[in-house]
Amino acid sequence: MLRHEFQPGRLVAGTFLTLTGIIYAGDAGGAWETPWFVVIPLVMGGLCLAGAVGVLTRGIRKRSAADPRPPADYR
C-alpha cells in the first residue's frame, strides 16, 4: 500500500541535486577537478526539468480525475 503520492518532479530534482553533490564530493576527494561554473547549469537545468515534469504530471492527473466517462463496469 502506498503511503504517499508518487511525485516524479521531486524525483528528477533529487536526482540532479544528488548528481551535483557527487560531482562536488569527487572534486573535494581529489578524484577529479571540477570548475565552479559547471554546477550552475546542472542545478538550474535539473530544477527547470523538474518543474516541467511536475506541471506535466499535474495536467495528466487533473485530466484523468475529471474524465466524464463512466467506468466500464457502470450499469
Instruction: Give the integer Cα–Cα distance in Å for 23 and 18.
Output: 9
**How far apart, in whole angstroms, are the C-alpha atoms of residue 72 and residue 38?**
52
Q: What per-residue confidence (pLDDT) applies to 1?
A: 64
At residue 10, the pLDDT reads 96
Closest Cα to residue 27, out of 15, 42, 45, 13? 42
**Cα-based angle 49, 22, 35 (whole degrees, multiple of 5):** 85
Report the amino acid identity of residue 32.
Answer: W
pLDDT tens series, the chain, 75 aa: 668 889 999 999 999 999 999 999 999 999 999 998 999 999 999 999 999 999 999 999 888 777 666 666 666
The pLDDT value recorded for residue 64 is: 79
pLDDT score at 5: 87
Cα–Cα dist 12/14, whole Å: 5
